[in-house]
């Protein structure tokens, strides 16, 4: 990972760092990947980049997705009553959530919007009036980007934001009274899933930059050596089968949990590894 002074300030810069730091040296790429996988580094990324993009920071200078949503909900429903049959206000509030994420995670997404949508973003942040069509267009455009970003519909437990106003309507329209706090509680319930999806996207980018293109034999040999250092034995026949495994399988099912010291998550048995019995060790 980069030096302290050069640490990425957001997810976009982190993914760019992966691409720029990958080299033609296979050993260096594997070392970079293992540095990325270190529990201390994973915790830093989750807290300082992912968590901040969604929930802001303690100083308050970064609001993040959820607090953008909170502010918007308070502005739109000043009387404390939410009409879930009004899609425009719901779309605007959800758009604020997405804007809050991208402005602190991948600002280039907002930077590439058409001029009229960039203006809508600025009005949204300033709590100014926005035309219904611009609200709808901004919401639908950003929702597509966001769902792809967090793997909504692909990763279990990750809620889509596309069409979320309809989900809110169906969930809450039977309530006698719907308040901004009920909306906030509902959106807050999606945060962990969205964080999980964002982290999965980062993992995928690191794998693509450092591991995916490596010669399979080089990578397989490296992971086999790590497995043998844990005390597990593997026959020549099993080693040959191991070398035939897809790189993605070797990474996700063996290398990643070994590197992160999550022993219970390593799928040894599935791939034919075992702990030697005492007599085998003695021999």
Are residues 274 and 233 in contact, defined by beta-carbon separation less than 8 angstroms? yes
- Radius of gyration of the chain measured on its C-alpha atoms: 23
Structure tokens at 162: 């596309």
- Kindly indicate the confidence band of residue 211, based on its pLDDT and cuts at 50, 70 and 90: very high
Closest listed residue to residue 135, CA positions, set 149, 148, 121? 121
Buried b (16+ CB within 10 A) or exposed e, 102-130: bbbbbeebbeebeeebeebbebbbeeeeb
Helix (H, G, I), strand (E, B) or coil at 274: strand
Per the listing, tokens 């293992």 go with 34
C-alpha to C-alpha distances, 250 to 35, 42, 78, 211, nearest whole angstrom: 17, 20, 54, 10
Full-model pTM:
0.90
pLDDT at 2 over 80: no
Closest listed residue to residue 227, CA positions, set 251, 255, 207? 255
Identify the pLDDT of residue 283.
Answer: 41
Are residues 50 and 11 in contact, defined by beta-carbon separation less than 8 angstroms? yes
- The predicted-structure confidence for 168-191, as pLDDT tens digits, reads as follows 999 998 899 999 999 999 999 999
d(CA 101, CA 110): 10
Q: Residue 99: which residues within 8 A CB-CB, separation 6 or more? A: 68, 110, 121, 124, 125, 142
pLDDT at 280 over 70: no
Torsion of CA 117, 123, 129, 133, to 10 degrees: 10
- Kindly indicate the confidence band of residue 5, based on its pLDDT and cuts at 50, 70 and 90: low
- Kindly indicate the confidence band of residue 275, based on its pLDDT and cuts at 50, 70 and 90: low
């Amino acid at each position: 990972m980069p030096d302290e002074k050069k640490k990425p300030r957001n997810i976009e810069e982190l993914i760019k760092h992966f691409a720029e730091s990958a080299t033609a040296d296979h050993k260096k790429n594997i070392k970079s990947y293992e540095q990325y996988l270190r529990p201390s580094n994973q915790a830093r990324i989750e807290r300082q980049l992912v968590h901040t993009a969604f929930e802001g920071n303690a100083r308050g200078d970064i609001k993040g997705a959820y607090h953008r949503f909170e502010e918007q909900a308070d502005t739109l429903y000043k009387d404390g009553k939410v009409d879930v049959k009004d899609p425009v206000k719901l779309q605007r509030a959800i758009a604020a959530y997405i804007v809050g994420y991208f402005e602190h995670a991948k600002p280039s997404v907002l930077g590439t919007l058409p001029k009229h949508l960039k203006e809508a973003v600025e009005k949204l942040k300033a709590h100014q009036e926005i035309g219904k069509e611009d609200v709808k267009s901004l919401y639908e455009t950003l929702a597509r980007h966001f769902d792809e970003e967090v793997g909504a519909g692909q990763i279990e437990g990750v809620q889509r934001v596309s069409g979320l106003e309809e989900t809110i309507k169906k969930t809450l329209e039977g309530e006698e009274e719907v308040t901004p706090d009920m909306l906030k509680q509902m959106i807050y319930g999606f945060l962990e899933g969205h964080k999980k999806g964002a982290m999965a996207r980062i993992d995928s980018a690191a794998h693509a930059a450092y591991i995916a293109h490596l010669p399979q034999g080089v990578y397989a040999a490296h992971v086999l050596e790590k497995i043998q250092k844990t005390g597990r034995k593997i026959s020549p026949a099993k080693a040959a089968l191991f070398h035939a495994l897809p790189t993605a399988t070797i990474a996700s099912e063996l290398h990643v949990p070994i590197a992160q010291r999550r022993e219970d998550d390593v799928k040894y048995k599935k791939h034919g590894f075992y702990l030697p019995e005492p007599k085998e060790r003695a021999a």
